[in-house]
Structure formats: structure tokens, C-alpha cells
Structure 1
Amino acid sequence: MRAFWREYRENWIAVVALAVVVVIVLAALLAPWITPQNPYDLASLDLMDARKPPGFVGSEGYVHWLGTDAQGRDLLSAIIHGLRISLQMGIAAGLFAMTIGATLGILSAHAGGWVEAAIMRVVDLQLSFPAILLALVLVAVLGQGKSQLVIALVAAQYAYFARTAYGAATAERQKDYVEAAHATPLPGWRIVLRHILPNCLPPLIVVGTVQVANAIALEATLSFLGLGLPPTEPSLGMLIANGFQYMMSGRTWISVYPGIALIVLIVAINIVGDQIRDQFNPRLRR
């Protein structure tokens, strides 16, 4: 880890991106204590404070530094809570998709034969469809809610992990140490868990960071289209959608600030993932 961090900090852009991710995660975790308003408490909202510009002092006596939205929510509070929801959805979907995809990919590479053909043909078929199309269909069928949204995101993304794990496990399966392990009386599950899986983790970690960012963007897209979380739990995509109709009237802050927060989060995670990918790639190592 010390060697990894020593090489990581040589790229100052990646260090800044990591610091941004850490700050956003801390802000999301501490959202109930650092925000002046609970945007989910509809009883605390005042329509007289709706669509007010940044710097407006509301009826409750505090400054709305980023203004308010069409429901009178403090936009800064709504953005921080929206980041919390985005991170929850992205990390949960990424972990479940990695677990399912890695299991299927390594199982198909290790088993071979008809098991390999059946699993990978299903994965290839799913990869031929856009993730947003599959997620839209699943959300429309399952309905709104956090659990339904996570299921849709996992179903749309597990195939990327399965294909990555399959490629890495296939390469490892042909190496001498795996053949030597097969020559011993070790059970197959032990060979997979103790020998093949640890050597497949680096590419899976890289794909995981990228897919977390993709899951956040996909969740925001679904919420923007009105198929994400319910209106009582505004995510960044819903905040952008709520302010979209006011863009031409000059109230651009309602959509612009949540959009900036979403872009910063996704770009920062992608930069961190790119740096981790470069460090795990032996061809790029000095």
C-alpha cells in the first residue's frame, strides 16, 4: 500500500480527484448534521421561499447560499442529500454487480464446456443492449424505490464485470501455478478462491470504480426522466429535472448547481479509476 500510494501521489490531478471524492463522501455521510434543512421533510418547506436566488435569506432565518428550488428546498441541502443518494445507489449497485458478475465470469472460465458457453452467451447478449435501455425497462416494470432502482442498475451492469472476470480468469487458468494446484488434491472451489480470484481482483477493481461512476450517471438519468426515486427523496437527477422548466426564465441555478455537483463527482471518480488502472497495468509501469 505504501508503494501504491507513493506512485499514486506522483499524479497531482489524481490526488486532487481523490481529495474531492473524500470530501464529497464525508459531506454525504454527515449530511443530516451539516445541512441547514432536511429536504425530505415536506412540512418544513415554505412555498414562499420557492425559486429564490442564491444568497436569499429565507423565512427560517438562514441564508440559502445556492438559492431554492421550485418546492422551496434549500438547494445546498438538497444537493448534499442528493449526493448521498447518488453515492448509496452507485456503491450498492457496483458492489452487487461486481459480486454477481465476478462469480459468473470466474465460474464460466473455471468450469468450461457448456457452462462457459451458456453463461457467456447470455452476457454477450446483454452487452449488445444499451444499459440505459435495459434499466428503463426494468424500472418501468419494478416501479420506483431504492431497492427496485438498485436491482435495475445491477442487472444493467453485472455483464461488464462478468466479461472482465472471465477474461482475467481465462488467462490465469492457463498459467503453471493453476495447473500445479490442479495436480494436488485441492478442491476446485479452493483453487478458485485462493489462487484465481486474488489475481483477478486488479482489473475488477478498476472496472468497479468506473462502473460506480456509470451507476451514478445512470441513476441521475432515470431520475431526470421521472423513473428513479420518488419525489419525496430528491436525487441530483430529479433536482436537475425540477429546474429544467425554469431555465429559460433566468432561474438557472435550480438545475445548474445540481448538474455541476453531479459532473464533479463523476469526473473525480473516473480520474481516480484511470489512475488505479494505470498503476495496475504492467505495460505502463516504469
Structure 2
Amino acid sequence: MADSATTTGGTLAVPAAPPAETRAMRLRNFWSDYRQSWVALAALAVIVALAIGAFGAPFLVPQDPYDLANLDWMDAFLTPGEVGTGGYVHLLGTDNAGRDMLSAILYGLRTSFVIGLSAGALALAIGITVGLTAAYFGGRIEALLMRVVDLQLSMPAILLALVLVAVLGQGVFQIILALVVAQYAYFARTTHGAATVERRKDYIEAARSTPLPTRRVLFSHLLPNVLPPLIVVATVQVASAISLEATLSFLGVGLPLTEPSLGTLISNGFKYIHAGRYWLSIYPGIFLMFTVVAINLVGDQVRTILDPRNSR
């Protein structure tokens, strides 16, 4: 990153500020630092395995648990390891509708990944736009945008999501929209803090003094230099979005019963747990726990690598 401007023939030129290392070398160095922690490597392996299982579920599991034509009520409440009428082993048992629990969990996990990644990406895009705009223009625009962000951050995300879902209704799109509104403020605050520091540097002043479009200054010069903290926040917020979706579905205001969801599976099985049918809630809960913990561990390692204080 270059912090000074140069002049050519009396005309102020914007420094190209190319990185000292190539992108490939940066990735190699990042991976070299990342694999120093066996815990982070194990967490990444868990995420990859869960993602393969979730998105490859139609090819890996014995049934589509949400296709009523494939369900047999005679298979209801089979214990883990029992053989059903279809002739295959239900490794994690079945629920009250005869659904194979492993199949239902992997389908629900796919929904969790889709919702978490979609909500995280949209919240990141909106938060970056709000944060960069506030930091770049300053003045009343900055005061207005950041007061709205501060007001939203003062409210618990789960409370805001509950209110929005109650207004919007149930469904995947409604859940994603509610999570985006509940989470974009975290990205906006982080972007604003990093961009405010970068805005005072010479290379931004040089870019602003040229006839470059504002959007190019924002997204080509300012944004690349505020991305590291955003990557960390994005990792944490994806895990948070998955947890929030499961919480909303567990409370009965998230996804409808016809949509696969880990929260719905846990909620459905909770009423049977005192009857000894522990697998209906315990196994979806274990998969949810491993997913959220693994993502957070990866985020912790990424934060450690990108923290400039660790390079001293």
C-alpha cells in the first residue's frame, strides 16, 4: 500500500499502490500461517466434511425426508441402527413421521448453510456500502448513517430478528431478509472504523483530487484496504446467522414444518426427549453445535493471522 502521491508533469497522479507480494504468494503465506494451528485445521476439516454432506445429501443419504411419498409410518421412532421397511439401516434412527434422521439432518444442514452464507453475503455488501459512504463523505451523512447503525446495534439481534419474522412471515426468503437487517450493522460499524483511518492517508487524498468517479475511489482504492477485519467479522456472522435461524425455527417462527431445518428438528424432538427418544433432538443439536463451533474456530484463526499486532 502506498501512502504518498507522486506528480507527473505537474499533474497529481494516483499511486497504483500494488502489493509487495503477488496474490498467489499472499495465499500461500496465509495458508502457511493458518496450518500452524491443528485446532483450526481440524475445524476447517469439519466444515468441509459437513458442507460435502449437506450439499451432497441427495446422493449420500437413503431418502428425501421431505418427500411424503418416500415415508412409511411403520418406520416411526426407530432407534439408531435399526433397519427400516425400506431395507436400509437408519444410523441415527427415525422421527415420529418415519423420516431417516441422518437424511433430515443433512438436508436441514444444507438449509442452514444456504441461509447463513446468503444472509452473511448480503449483510456484508450492505454494511460495506453504508460504512464506506459514511467514512468517505463524513459530515451529516456520516452522522445520520452511523446513528442509525448505533441504534440498531443497541438492540439484541435475536429480538430484532423475531420482530421482523413476525412481520414478514415464515419462509427461507423472509428469514434471510430478517437476518440481513439484523446483522448488516456489524459490518457497517467495522467498515466505518477501518475506512475512517484509511481515508486520512495520502493515497486516498491523491485519488480524491483526480477526476476519478467516487465509486471507483471507494471500491478500488479504499475497500481493498479495509477488507481484513471484514473477513473476520463475516466468518463470525455466518455462524451467528446459522444460530439465529435455528433459534427462530426452534421457537416456531422461523422456517415452516415443510422446510428442512436443524432448529425445527430439535424443536420437534424436544417433546419426546423425556420418553427416551433422545436421538430426535440430541443428534440435530450435535450437528448444529459442531457447525457453529467449527466456523468460530476458523474465524478465530483468521483473526489471529490478520491481526497486525501479531506481525511485530
TM (normalized to structure 2)? 0.90
1:134 matched to 2:160? The reply is yes
Q: Which residue number in structure 1 is paired with residue 104 of structure 2? A: 78
Counterpart position of 2:226: 200
The structural deviation recorded for 1:49 is 1.2
Amino acid at match of 2:84: G
The count of aligned residue pairs is: 286
Separation in 1, partners of 2:140, 2:273:
55
**Counterpart AA for 1:163:** R
Partner of 2:17: none
Structure 1 residue 25: Cα displacement: 1.0
Q: Which runs of 5+ in 2 are unaligned?
A: 1-26
- How far did 1:4 drift? 0.6
> How much does 1:46 deviate?
1.7
1:112-156 CA distance string (max 9 Å, x none) = 111111111111001111100111111111111111110001011
In structure 1, how many angstroms separate the alpha carbons of the residues matched to 2:297 and 2:212? 41
**Partner Cα distance (1:18, 1:124) in 2:** 33
Greater helix content: 1
In the TM superposition, 1:185-224 aligns within 5 A as: 185-224=211-250
Question: Does residue 283 of structure 2 align to residue 283 of structure 1?
Answer: no
Helix, strand or coil at the partner of 1:54: coil
2:113 maps to which of 84, 87, 90: 87
Q: How far has the Cα of 1:218 moved from its partner?
A: 0.1
Give the TM-score of the pair, scaled to structure 1: 0.98
Q: Which residue of structure 2 aligns with residue 105 of structure 1? A: 131
1:125 is matched with 151
Asked if 1:45 corresponds to 2:61, the answer is no
Distance 1:43 1:231 in 2: 16
- One-letter code aligned to 1:227: V
Matching of residues 139-150 of structure 1 within 5 Å: 139-150=165-176
In structure 1, the partner of 2:32 is 6
Q: Quick one: which amino acid aligns to residue 271 of structure 1? A: L
What residue in structure 2 maps to residue 56 of structure 1?
82
2:11 alignment counterpart: none
The Cα of 1:238 is off from its aligned counterpart by 0.5
1:163 is aligned to 2:189:
yes
CA distance in 1, matches of 2:305, 2:311: 7
What SS does structure 1 have at the residue aligned with 2:226?
Answer: helix
1:36 is aligned to 2:62 = yes
Please list the CA deviations of residues 242-280 of structure 1 after superposition, one character each: whole Å capped at 9, or x if unmatched: 110111111111100000000000000000011111111
Query: What is the correspondence of 1:175-194 to structure 2 with a 5 Å cutoff?
Result: 175-194=201-220
SS of the residue 2:255 aligns to: coil
Runs of 4 or more off by more than 4 Å in structure 1? Answer: none
What is the CA distance between 1:188 and its match in structure 2?
2.2
* 2:293 corresponds to: 267
Separation in structure 2 between the aligned mates of residue 73 and residue 268 of structure 1, nearest angstrom: 27
- State the AA in 2 paired with 1:192: L
Q: 2 CA distance for matches of 1:15 and 1:99?
A: 28
What is the CA–CA distance in structure 1 between the aligned matches of 2:111 and 2:103, rounded to whole Å? 12
Secondary structure at the counterpart of residue 218 of structure 2: helix
In 1, Cα distance between the equivalents of 2:69 and 2:239?
A: 33
- Partner of residue 276, structure 2: 250
Rg (Cα) greater in structure: 2
Segment of structure 1 superposing worse, 26-35 or 154-163: 26-35
Structure-1 separation of matches of 2:135 and 2:66? 46
Once the two structures are overlaid, the 10-residue window that deviates more, 176-185 or 4-13, is 176-185
Q: Distance in 1 between matches of 2:267 and 2:213?
A: 54
- Name the CA distance, whole Å, in 2 between partners of 1:60 and 1:99: 46
Indicate yes or no: 2:45 matched with 1:19.
yes
Once the two structures are TM-superposed, the CA of residue 183 in structure 1 deviates from its matched residue by 2.8
Moved more, 172-181 or 98-107: 172-181
In the alignment, the residues of structure 2 paired with residue 140 and residue 46 of structure 1 have an alpha-carbon distance, to the nearest angstrom, of 34
**Identity value in percent:** 63
How many angstroms apart in 1 are the aligned matches of 2:107 and 2:293?
Answer: 19
| SS of alignment partner, residue 60 of structure 1 | coil
Moved more, 42-51 or 181-190: 181-190
Matches of 2:214 and 2:91 in 1, distance apart?
59
